Every structure is written in structure tokens, then in C-alpha cells.
Amino acid sequence: MRSLRTLIAFCIVALFALTAVGPMAAPRAQAEQATADEPSASEVSQRVKLRVSIPGKAYSRERVIEELRDEKRKIREAGQAGVEILDAEVDAEYARMARRMDLSVSELTETLAQEGVGPDTIKHLLRANLAWQRYQKERQQAR
């Protein structure tokens, strides 16, 4: 079986391969949403643990915070446009991720837990990716 760090690295690379960097909100809009988009200490802690588990990748705490803010912004903007991602969709994507890694959902969850990372850390990232992709697709179709 692959090493734990290799599996987690694969997981993160797969997630970010799905993520398209979207346009940043205008400075005024960012200021208005600063509080809503501010990650909790727990979210930051979990994401830092996840990032530390990836060999060869250096992430500062500030970069992790910006990443979480961006995800929250994407979820918020997509939601304002009427895009809703159900928990079942996120769970299904989490299961697909596990299958791509030749793991069961429980094995993926256990692998993450060994690094001190809860499944909600990955699921938040999945939710943001799904919401942003659907939002972008709907915007393209509306044109």
C-alpha cells in the first residue's frame, strides 16, 4: 500500500486539479464580506495539518488562510447566484476521491485522521470546487 503522505498528497493534487482559479471579488465586496469569509481557528488548524502532510510543499499559515477565504467566497458567490451543493453531492465526490486512490471512504477518513485531519477539511474544499464549477458553468450557459 502507498505511504500515508503519498496518499494525502495525491488527494490534494487531485482536488486542486479540479479547481479553476476564479476572479477575485472587488476590494469593496471583499471588505464587506471579510467577516463572513474569515476562517475559524479550527479550519485554519485543520488545513495547516493537511498542507504539512504533503511532502515537498511549503504553505505558510497566511497562504492557508487566503485559500480558505477564497473557498468561502466561492461558496458564498455561488450561493448568491442560486447554486446549492447538497451534502450528498459532497459525500459522493469524497467517495469518488477515495475510489481514485483505491481506498474505501472509511480508509480515506482513517488515513486523514492519522495526520490529524478530519474529513470536513477535504469536504469543505470539495464543496467550494463543486459550487464554483457549477456557478461558472451556469454563467457560461447564460451567455
Task: Specify the CATH number for the domain of residue 73.
Answer: 1.10.4030
- pLDDT above 60 (res 32): no
Tell me which residue range forms the domain holding 93.
4-20+27-142
Give the Cα separation of 77 and 126 in Å (integer). Answer: 16
Give the Cα separation of 55 and 64 in Å (integer). Answer: 16
Give the Cα separation of 108 and 101 in Å (integer). Answer: 8
Lowest mean pLDDT, pick from 11-15, 34-38, 62-66, 84-88: 11-15
Say how many domains are in the chain.
1
Give the Cα separation of 67 and 59 in Å (integer). Answer: 10
Round the CA-based radius of gyration of the chain to a whole number and report it: 15
pLDDT digits (tens, 9 = 90+) for 90-132: 999 999 999 999 999 999 999 999 999 999 999 999 999 999 9
pLDDT digits (tens, 9 = 90+) for 41-67: 999 999 999 988 888 777 889 999 999
